[in-house]
Structure 1
């Protein structure tokens, strides 16, 4: 199944990362979340190619660390609101009566800090999963794989996604250039000499990418009549309304069941019809289109299985998925299997192609 070295289909990597992110969103167990982070880092280290966007994973890791720190600080600043053992007794700042229920500083309990740590770790895991998909998937090939109806949106998304990889490249170039010349040694002036060229080079390269894609016809629309545009807009708007009502009914158990799964399925079908109708007016060709093979299908199955196991643990092992703040978290066999199953992506995929 692994075969010769080649780059995997970008959609397959995104679906795998979304599956792991779904499992992470269904738990606050720090042990499970840390295992998922380790699995994601392991897969990225073994399956990312030697492309510029593949080097941005560590920045997503730092974003995750910042998210954890900010979440804990948020609990400290707002006092937490969790009863328990006080570990940090800060003076409380009085607030006006119209913000009743909000407390600024004050005693901070151990349970409040743990709650902030668990929530921040879950958010960090989601950010790292997105960073893994961005590091493993080729954004330009991802644009080629989008449906014709989403091609204009995909062009903007590709430009936005490539900003962070371009940022990493700019940092390396500016560091190398500044190492060859002397300059200000003060912290403030040195930081200004570093940030200004990095940001300027990053945005210049992203705008150059957008201009190059525009000159090659990316996002070009064909001619369509007024009736066709109205039909397409009506189908997309109706599908969006159906999906919104269906999702609300699925979450609200008091809503009529007829508005839940049936309305959601109808909205998805109508939206799909609108995408097909909108894609007919976009004329474009594909050179060497990416094909789905056995490794791609296996990676998607791994991601969906991880998401399914995470959903099962969150509904049948609630204390494992959402541990109490007053007890040490535990891990069951199902939760451990859901977290470690993502490693199978290394076994079922070929090694990445090496640039020469």
Structure 2
């Protein structure tokens, strides 16, 4: 844990919300391109920041699991392109698989058939974009302390935040328990791989998860989790109206922003919806009285971390509109992707948090 001297000298860890904004902004940047070189650069950027800034806590070790999940998603996408075909036409045939005849109601779907290089490259680009999104989410999980993130949530979202934080920390704890038990079995000369090793490791892992859940429930009950304060009925009705109206406004405004016909009203409706929703959350927080011990300040470093990610997302969005051919390399005809200069420099701005933030304390 960070000592009092470290906190006084300004070495407090960055606000966890800033890490989530940085990581989600990199994910937004990944949705703006299918260029595999830029996507690989985004993955490398997140990996370097995670390797530099994460702590040794169990929840910080989940990045490797997200990378493996991203790799599995990429392989599954390629498998579907081979087994189920692709609507992308192509002339470079790689292999011709036996095709299974399907009934008339399954028109548009095929099993087997010709596999072309264009279809595989299109599936690779598409799957790599989704894999990059998963890697960015994994970076946020590895860098943002879930307990501190829960402490920073508004009171109206406290119960939901507890559920989300417990869900996010469940997988890292399982991974840490499985690694510890496998290491113990290897030291005893017992198998830790295969079906037999999985059965001997899985049961203690699940038992530990159950014991941890019971202990967490007892601790939450002892701290008065779930208690609410008395709020007048008009305030409750106003809170409900503001929250629901704000969410509807956000949906309508987002639709207007994304469509060409709604550009005139989209942004004002979106801003009005956000204002109403935030007001509803503020009023809803009165039902959940909470105190914060050493609240995390949103300091200059947090602004810089969030600004780095938002800048990357904004510049990639601008590049996608200015030079779409560089960010979306062609598949038909098949062409080799190139690394555009200034979008690559924009992605490298995401590395700045590795140099301006301290390592997260364990």
TM-score, normalization by structure 1: 0.93
Determine the C-alpha separation between the residues in 2 that align with 1:276 and 1:254. 33
The 5 Å alignment of 1:1-356 reads 5-84=11-90, 85-181=92-188, 187-255=194-262, 257-258=264-265, 260-325=266-331, 326-353=334-361, 355=362
Please give the root-mean-square deviation of Cα atoms over the aligned residues, in Å.
Answer: 2.0
Q: Secondary structure at the match of 1:92?
A: strand
Cross-structure match for 2:4: none
4+ residue runs of structure 1 moved beyond 6 angstroms? none
Moved more, 249-258 or 175-184: 175-184
Q: Matched residue pairs, number?
A: 352
Q: Secondary structure at the match of 1:50?
A: coil
Closer/same/farther in 2, CA of residues 6 and 299 from structure 1, 3 Å limit: same
1:274-305 CA deviation, whole Å, 9 max, x = no partner?
Answer: 11110122101000111122211111111111
Closer/same/farther in 2, CA of residues 184 and 29 from structure 1, 3 Å limit: closer
Determine the C-alpha separation between the residues in 1 that align with 2:282 and 2:223. 23
Q: Confirm or deny: 8 A CA contact 1:47 1:352 kept in the other structure.
A: yes
1:1-30 CA deviation, whole Å, 9 max, x = no partner?
Answer: x97644221111111111111101111110
Q: Which runs of 5+ in 1 are unaligned?
A: none
1:215-254 CA deviation, whole Å, 9 max, x = no partner?
Answer: 3234432122333222211111111111111112222223
Q: Confirm or deny: 8 A CA contact 2:186 2:192 kept in the other structure.
A: no
1:62-96 CA deviation, whole Å, 9 max, x = no partner?
Answer: 01110110111111111122111111211111111
Closer/same/farther in 2, CA of residues 93 and 317 from structure 1, 3 Å limit: same
Cross-structure match for 2:3: none
Determine the C-alpha separation between the residues in 2 that align with 1:186 and 1:276. 51
Moved more, 219-228 or 26-35: 219-228
Q: Secondary structure at the match of 1:213?
A: helix
1:146-165 CA deviation, whole Å, 9 max, x = no partner?
Answer: 01111111010110010111
Determine the C-alpha separation between the residues in 2 that align with 1:342 and 1:256. 30
